[in-house]
A and B are shown apart, each in its own frame.
Chain A
Amino acid sequence: MTNALLTIDHLQTHFFTPSGVVKAVNDISLRVREGETVCIVGESGCGKSVTAMSVLGLVAEPQGKVVGGDIRFDGVDLLQLSPLEKQQLRGNDIAMIFQEPMSSLNPVLTIGEQIMEPLWEHLLLSKKEARAKAIELISLVGIPRPEEIMNAYPHQLSGGMLQRIMIAIAISCNPRLLIADEPTTALDVTIQAQILDLLREIKETYNTAILLITHDLGVVAEMADYVVVMYAGKVIEEGPVLELFSNPRHPYTRGLLQAKPVIGQRKKRLNSIPGQVPNLIGLADSCYFHDRCESCMSVCRLKQPELKQIDDGHRVACWLYEEESGLA
């Protein structure tokens, strides 16, 4: 096993709103090894994106704040870095791809200008070198006629092309970790597949670690080496992708997997998990999933289960398995 590149330990990111403290990320630990793809899965509002933002230090101050835990990148504590050191790290060692390619590029600057920027900033290339490298990057992400694209404005390209450009910008400085926050959500299915292929190619060629955030289990199955399932700001289950898909333990993970459409099976309605994600303000000290859980027990309403190892690399936070291990 290679070393962990990114280690998040007991991270807590809270948002202080007028109606109370929102514990968006509540005690999360995960690691990403070099060249590994880790997927964070969960419904909207479960803290996936906030985790990613916390890594880059982009949580909107002053409402949001990392209140506990630490994030280490290659041994360096990211939370202790000065703003300047953070700036040098972002884009250079850790790069991010956003969900909405249409709004993540500046509408008044040409594609070329936006690709060349990090090259000037981090690699200190001259204008000419940056231009050559930018053209190379555009063709690398599979866009034809790179010279013309250099002079185009974002509104002249399609969503898929823009996402490719975003990827080109993200990999321009050969980052060691690529954070992709739902990179395919805004795209249609065929383009989605192409973008995922591109990400996989990049991972294989440059041995880039990828932290992929998604709510699409299809994407997870295709991309991930290791999966982390989040619910209401907590990790509820994690494990290697094959293990997790073949042997899901947590009722929520099972529900998610059952909700997935299967090719070849015709159903009137897809399965769904009843209920809603709880309001993150003032959560009681119970299992956050208890009111939606099929196998809810009395202990679930009283105490929060801890993340426990059950198999090799497979960890789950559910009282069902605490009991089991207690019995054994």
Chain B
Amino acid sequence: MSSIVTETAGLAGTRTGARRSSLWRDTFAKLKKNKVAMCGLVFLVIMFLFCFIGPFFSPYASGKVNTVMINKPPSMAHWLGTDNLGRDILTRLMQAGRISLTVGLAAMLLSVFIGSVLGVVAGYYRGVVDQIVMRFADILMTIPGLPLLFIIGAILSEWKVPTDYRIYIVMLMLSLIGWPELARLVRSQILSLREREFMQATESLGLRDHRKLFFHLLPNTIPILIVVATLRVGGAILSESVLSYLGLGVVPPTPTWGNMIDAANTLIDFQKRPWLWIPPGFAIFATVISINLLGDGLRDALDPKMKR
């Protein structure tokens, strides 16, 4: 009985071993050697745990107003102090992190999705489809991103969009300005991949187009997509923070790191109560730096020419 168990376990082990002995394993092995990138990864994991699990350990409810404890500096009860409504900054920081990280990830996923689908289609079919998609992308890229976001944000404020929905709209806005660059990148990859011999082989096998596009071509662009997508998350978090700081993104009472720094706008808060704006500022700074370090590490790890 026990021998059978060990045998099947051994078989399962070799099988997964054979399957994973591919790109991902190599990449992770190389990434592990890159200390700086690993620091980034570890910090990101901690940040995620802090934001998504942390609030469960906090004795304070996130939006709970406490009129007695207004603008108190850090103490044993409130590790990072309280804000002008007596809310615990630490708890709020975690809640804000949830929103900021989610917005960053979602905006990235959405722009990667739109960008890669349009890029693959444009690169494969070329001709008219390519012209339409890429000219549209060009138009979006010629308009500077931030002013465009300001305009959309201002329109949203004008239309009095409910605050709950604003998170989703911010995600859409960010992916709207994010996809053209990705579409370009994917398209350029596809243009060279489609001329490769294995694509001729799929042609001679009579495979249908959607299979060629999404089963044969797209997986070949995944390494580069991963790098760009990782860096993109950092960019999206930053843009979201800028928008929210200016009151055009996610607006209070929903906390984000960006609108928490808004406190720095008041001179007295800025000068006398640094615990209001230093923690969210540090959170943004450290998260974005970690993401960029990880992205650079991934780029090195996925680049076959970088042999060390």
Contact = CB atoms under 8 A, between A and B. Distances in A.
B198 A105 contact: yes
Interface in A49-101: 56, 58, 86-92, 95-96, 98, 100
Nearest to B204: A96
Interface centre among B18, B19, B23, B220 (most CB of A within 10 A): B18
Contact of B198 (A56, A88, A106): A106
A95 B198 contact: no
A91 B197 contact: no
Residues of B contacting A: mostly: helix
Contacts of B23: 108
Given A91-B204, A117-B207, A104 B198 contact: yes
B204 A58 contact: yes
B306 to A, nearest CB: 18
A98 B200 CA distance: 9
B22 interface: yes
A58 B204 CA distance: 7
Contact of A106 (B15, B21, B208, B220): B220
Nearest to B199: A106
Contacts of B222: 108
Interface string B212-251: 0001100110100000000000000000000000000000
A86 B211 contact: no
Contacts of B206: 86-92, 118, 121-122
B205 A91 contact: yes
A103 B205 contact: no
Nearest to B22: A153
Nearest to A147: B15
A152 interface: yes
B197 A121 contact: no
Nearest to B17: A151
Contacts of A92: 206
A111 to B, nearest CB: 11
B220 A105 contact: no
Given A151-B15, A152-B18, A153-B22, A104 B207 contact: no
Interface in B291-305: none
Interface in B110-169: none
B203 A90 contact: yes
Contacts of B197: 98, 100, 103-104
A151 B207 contact: no
A118 B18 contact: no
A106 B198 CA distance: 6
A88 B205 CA distance: 9
Contacts of B77: none
A117 B211 contact: yes
Contacts of A167: none
A118 B204 CA distance: 10
B205 A169 contact: yes
Contacts of B198: 103-107
Interface string A137-168: 00000000000100111001000000000100
B308 interface: no
A281 interface: no
B19 A151 contact: yes
Interface in B1-53: 15, 18-19, 21-23
A242 interface: no
Contact of B196 (A56, A103, A118, A169): A103
A34 B151 CA distance: 70
Interface in A245-293: none
25 contacts: A58-B203, A86-B206, A90-B205, A90-B206, A92-B206, A96-B201, A96-B204, A98-B204, A100-B197, A104-B198, A105-B198, A106-B202, A106-B219, A107-B198, A107-B220, A108-B23, A108-B222, A117-B202, A117-B207, A117-B215, A118-B206, A121-B205, A151-B15, A151-B19, A169-B205
Interface of A: 56, 58, 86-92, 95-96, 98, 100, 103-109, 117-118, 121-122, 148, 151-153, 156, 166, 169
Interface of B: 15, 18-19, 21-23, 196-198, 200-208, 211, 215-216, 219-220, 222
Given A95-B204, A121-B205, A153-B22, 12 more contacts: A58-B203, A87-B208, A91-B205, A103-B196, A103-B197, A104-B197, A104-B201, A105-B201, A107-B198, A107-B220, A109-B216, A152-B18
